[in-house]
């Protein structure tokens, strides 16, 4: 570099990197409607497999040292029976992934009962 005084002139990059962080932060924290919608959707999926205690559960977005994370604490009341689960999944013939999972559960039935996914 021929002109050393150019070195400390680059405040633009500073502005940009600061904005990148703060905008990500703002975007994660504003939309409570979106958070609610996501909560319901996640609960729907979880509820297919286990019964969740809706009163005791916690669901929150938190910011820690500029990292945003989603924390869900869902106490399980009861684990569904395999037969019940299969029936539900057959009715809900939406996604292929689910079918694959049922086949796997069938093979190790004992395992699946104590530790359903």
Partner 1 sequence: MSRIIVVTSGKGGVGKTTTTSNLGAALAKQNRSVALIDADFGLRNLDLLLGLEERVVYTALDVLAGECRLAQALVKDKRLKGLVLLPAAQNRNKEAVRPEQMQKIATALAKGYDYILIDCPAGIELGFRNAISAAQEALIVTTPEVAAVRDADRVIGLLEAEGVNKISLIVNRVKPHMVEENKMMSVEDVLELLGVPLIGVVPDDEKVIESTNRGEPLVLGEHESTPAIAYTNIARRLEGEKVPFLDLLANQGNILSRLRKIFGG
The residues that touch partner 1, with contacts defined as CB under 8 A, are: 1-3, 6, 9-13, 15-16, 18-20, 22-23, 26-27, 30-31, 33
3-state helix, strand, coil in the chain (%, to 5): 60, 20, 20
Shortest gap between Cβ of 12 and partner 1 (angstroms)? 5
Q: For residues 30 and 100, which CB has a smaller minimum distance to partner 1 in the complex?
A: 30
Shortest gap between Cβ of 71 and partner 1 (angstroms)? 22
Shortest gap between Cβ of 64 and partner 1 (angstroms)? 21
Q: For residues 6 and 73, which CB has a smaller minimum distance to partner 1 in the complex?
A: 6
Distance CA 18, CA 32 (A): 24
Distance CA 81, CA 116 (A): 10
Residue carrying the six token digits 């958070």: 35
Q: For residues 14 and 103, which CB has a smaller minimum distance to partner 1 in the complex?
A: 14
Shortest gap between Cβ of 7 and partner 1 (angstroms)? 10
Residue carrying the six token digits 């703060």: 22
Is the separation of the CB atoms in 63 and 29 below 8 Å? yes
* 50 φ/ψ angles, rounded to the nearest 5 degrees: -135, 160
Q: For residues 18 and 54, which CB has a smaller minimum distance to partner 1 in the complex?
A: 18
């Amino acid at each position: 570099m021929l002109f050393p005084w150019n070195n400390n002139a680059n405040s633009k990059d500073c502005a940009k990197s600061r904005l990148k962080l703060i905008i990500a932060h703002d975007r994660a924290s504003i939309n409570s409607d979106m958070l609610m919608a996501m909560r319901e959707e996640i609960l729907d999926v979880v509820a297919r497999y286990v019964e969740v205690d809706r009163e005791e559960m916690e669901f929150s977005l938190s910011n820690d040292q500029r990292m945003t994370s989603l924390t869900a604490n869902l106490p399980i009341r009861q684990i569904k029976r395999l037969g019940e689960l299969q029936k539900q999944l057959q009715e809900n013939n939406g996604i292929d992934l689910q079918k694959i999972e049922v086949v796997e559960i069938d093979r190790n039935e004992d395992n699946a009962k104590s530790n359903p996914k």
